Structure 1
Amino acid sequence: MSTLTHTSEPRTAGIAAGPMLGRGEARYRLLLLALFAAGVVTFAQLYAPQGVLPLIQAERGWNLSTSQASLTISAATFGLAASVLVWAVLAKRFGTFPIICASLAITTVMSFLSVAAPSFGALLVIRVLLGIGAAGMAALSVAYIVERVNPGDVPVVAGIYVSGTTIGGLSGRVVGAGLAGFGWRGSLLAVAVTSLLFAAIFVFAGWKSRPRPAPHRDNSAAARTTTGMSDLVLCLTHRPALGLYALIFVLMGSLVALYNYFSFHLTDPPYGLSTAAVGLFYFAYLGGTVGARIAGSAAGRFGRGRTLGVAVALMLVGACLTLQRNLVGLAAGLLLFTTAFFAAHAVASGWVGQIAGPQHSATASALYSLFYYAGSAILGWLLGFPYQHFGWTPFVLALTAGCLVTATLSWALLRRRDSTAHPGLRSR
């Protein structure tokens, strides 16, 4: 019988055959390149419309409100959150690498189709399908890392992957906003072409660093269903994992909401900035690249709990800085919030994979992604109501209150990580 792993050294049962990869190896470097490219592809396409939401809102004949326009983002993240567990089951049957390749292919095709959407309803359907495709990479990234990398290198590699997601999020937003003169369709087309290039890089580098064939396993439908259900029950009743799921739900929802309505905040009075000018603020995403890399190293040196706590505290400070009226203060707040969020995400994503161990990492990673993108879809939309009806300050206060309450709950659950294992599910 099995349980989620509580030791620093995850179990080796269930991993792919062959030696685990470590720093200094050529295949390790190729794996880093593949993960970085996959992060760029997934996040560039998920968040490309965010930089041109005002243009989508202004599309002739669509008659959209700000909260309706933001559904362009929420539709994709909803599709992603709803399908991550399906991809995890498929990965158990076919392996992580081919499933990730299929995921990126679907995402890229949908990205091209979104450019030709004839109506807002059609655009939302395409975005849902894009999110379903992106779910494969999102669900399996941490599992892929845990399966292939030495345990001591997992925080660093997770940081590299998260750095790729920040570059993807930045490129999608900046390219989209920077090409606003070509309309939102031209902007999304440029992102789709860029993503196709990075998808090809992932396939090449991932193939070169692929694991050796695993020993024969029982892949019958009954065996897969039993394993999947056992993993789900275990991961959903494990308190430290639940603490991380709840935390990332609120933190990610807050980040997406902040970026969704930041563009409206700056294009409205008293600022009145153009869409292209607002796009410059999205360079704050580069802070996320730095934050993820620093957090990976800091977690190994100071511990995951302390690093995560500092990151959340800095997010709250950054949110408060956006309450200033001057553009420099707003930019500083956005930069700090983004940097701290991706530091927290880098720590939490790697932590949940190692808590689970290789046997349960696919399911634990999929659930982490489910809560991550459910937060993006739900809070990224719901937090628009305080902005739409009450303005920027109540919106920021609601955002910070949610982060503070959830961080307190998560801290309480994570403190019990040594005493909450299910006795009947421990390895014997």
Structure 2
Amino acid sequence: MPIGTKKEVVLLSHPVLLPDSNPESSDFSTHLSRAAALLYAFLCGTAVATVYFSQPLLDVIATEFGIGKAVIGTVITATQLCYALGLFFLVPLGDILEPRRLVTWMLLLSSAALSLVAFAPGATVLFLGMGMVGFLAVVAQVLVALAAARSLPGDRGKVIGLMTSGIVIGILLARTFSGTLADLSGWRTVYIVSAAISLIMSISFVLVTPVARRRSSRISYLKLLSSMKDLFLDIPLLRVRAMLAFFIFAAFGTLWSSMVLPLSSPPFSLSHTAIGLFGLAGAAGALAARSAGRLADRGLGQRTTGLALLLLTLSWVPIGLLQKSLWIFVLGVIMLDYAVQAVHVTNQTMILSVRPEARSRLTAGYMIFYSLGSAAGAVAATFVYSRAGWLGVCALGGGISAAAFLFWAATRKTSESVKC
């Protein structure tokens, strides 16, 4: 056999090893390594955690700045609102700006915002800094789109699952980290340390991320934002999966925003620290994120979605038995969190496979529904609890979950064209 022929056979037997063999990843000369993926996941977790640092610190912050108890809660509202604004105004930039430069600048600005909070001399600067922290925390979503772009098609679900694991763990540990560090060295230390971590992460990110190749087509920023509407009009899959995100995170918000109310009341009368330990059940969500991603890579995304939504609906039965047993309640929490994260990862894997050139906008549009669902669930749960108690909340959560399952069943054919 001629030497040239032998070489051709070797190349064709391993096409996935060629740098440019995947047209979806042609912006990059190298694919995402295992080490880089782990760093991205850690970065996602530390970024999202900054949104939740303030929750256990509100009392001490209110005392230091002389802010009323009724007003200090707006710190959380301002941070979450600015996070939603960041989803719309910042995340789509990943489709037109060089991602290495974009993420690096966002991390540097995030470090500056955290420093502003750490050294805030008064309430006005504090609120401004908190808003900036929330606005820039969406760098986690830019990273999800970037990781999807740099991954091989057969590994995309697994990579997105890893990113989601980082986000879940970041949310899970944020309150514990901030509360513990504040007890040791004061609340300002939390933001000083976080600013330093963000700075270190920006340097690490540059070291593991290649510069993307120049993109052939560019659009203006205003057209970029306007095109998000067109994506929803043109892609039925995005509409379906965004609505599923709204449903599942409305159910998620229903549980996590109201569970403190019965747990802190008789007969339990648990402390806030003890209640916070229930968040450890969220570790199951991180496990689900990775397993769901692998199933999506094997073409089982639809089946995973249906089974997870069924599990989500059933989870409200043990959750509703809170007054009978805390252990049964914990089982229900694990079931709910596992189901929510499984659907979330599957959703992202499917929509990010549709338009490679618009992954950041797809992520932004999808995550806006995530935020709206979480907010709606939180508001509805507290309203229902005040009128119908814990069983009323469970009925609300079960109804939302059942609606999600029925919606998926009714729109399943819309998603079947995507092999995921």
Same fold flag (TM > 0.5): yes
Partner of 1:307: 304
The one of 124, 134, 139 equivalent to 1:136 is 139
Check 1:320–1:165 CA distance in 2 against 1; reply closer, same or farther (3 A cut). Answer: same
- 2:263 matches 1:266: yes
- 2:170 matches 1:168: yes
- Distance in 1, Cα, partners of 2:168 & 2:183: 24
The structure that has the greater radius of gyration is 2
- Distance in 2, Cα, partners of 1:107 & 1:206: 14
- 2:79 matches 1:76: yes
The one of 16, 32, 36 equivalent to 2:27 is 16
- Distance in 1, Cα, partners of 2:179 & 2:335: 21
Residue correspondence of structure 1 range 9-408 to structure 2 within 5 A: 12=23, 15-19=26-30, 21=31, 28-50=33-55, 62-64=68-70, 69=73, 72-111=75-114, 113-114=116-117, 126-138=129-141, 140-176=142-178, 178=180, 186=186, 189=188, 191-192=190-191, 195-196=194-195, 198-200=197-199, 202-215=201-214, 217-219=216-218, 221=220, 224-226=221-223, 228-301=225-298, 303-324=300-321, 325=323, 326-354=325-353, 356-408=354-406
Shift in Å, 1:72: 4.8
- Distance in 1, Cα, partners of 2:216 & 2:408: 36
Shift in Å, 1:410: 3.6
The letter for the 2-side match of 1:28 is S
- Distance in 2, Cα, partners of 1:385 & 1:124: 27
Shift in Å, 1:401: 1.0
Check 1:293–1:53 CA distance in 2 against 1; reply closer, same or farther (3 A cut). Answer: farther
Paired residues, number: 395
The letter for the 1-side match of 2:330 is A
Check 1:51–1:90 CA distance in 2 against 1; reply closer, same or farther (3 A cut). Answer: same
Partner of 2:12: none
- Distance in 1, Cα, partners of 2:39 & 2:268: 41
Shift in Å, 1:220: 6.2
- Distance in 1, Cα, partners of 2:205 & 2:151: 14
- Distance in 1, Cα, partners of 2:37 & 2:24: 23
- How much is the aligned-residue C-alpha RMSD, in angstroms? 3.4
- Distance in 2, Cα, partners of 1:389 & 1:180: 36
Extract unaligned runs of 5+ from structure 1. 1-9, 22-26, 421-428
- Distance in 1, Cα, partners of 2:306 & 2:270: 35
- Distance in 1, Cα, partners of 2:412 & 2:59: 40
> In the alignment, is the contact (CA less than 8 A) between 1:162 and 1:346 conserved in 2?
yes
TM-score with structure 1 length normalisation? 0.80
> In the alignment, is the contact (CA less than 8 A) between 2:45 and 2:140 conserved in 1?
no
> In the alignment, is the contact (CA less than 8 A) between 2:98 and 2:212 conserved in 1?
no
The percent identity for this pair of structures is 22
> In the alignment, is the contact (CA less than 8 A) between 1:178 and 1:276 conserved in 2?
no
Shift in Å, 1:364: 0.8
**Secondary structure of 1:18's partner?**
coil
**Secondary structure of 1:272's partner?**
coil
Higher mean alpha-carbon deviation, 344-353 vs 55-64, is at 55-64
Check 1:319–1:404 CA distance in 2 against 1; reply closer, same or farther (3 A cut). Answer: same
- Distance in 2, Cα, partners of 1:369 & 1:134: 13
Extract unaligned runs of 5+ from structure 2. 1-20
Shift in Å, 1:305: 0.8
Partner of 2:15: none
The letter for the 2-side match of 1:82 is L
Higher mean alpha-carbon deviation, 362-371 vs 124-133, is at 124-133
The letter for the 2-side match of 1:133 is L
TM-score with structure 2 length normalisation? 0.81
- Distance in 2, Cα, partners of 1:53 & 1:328: 30
Shift in Å, 1:363: 1.1
Higher mean alpha-carbon deviation, 204-213 vs 281-290, is at 204-213
- Distance in 2, Cα, partners of 1:267 & 1:216: 55
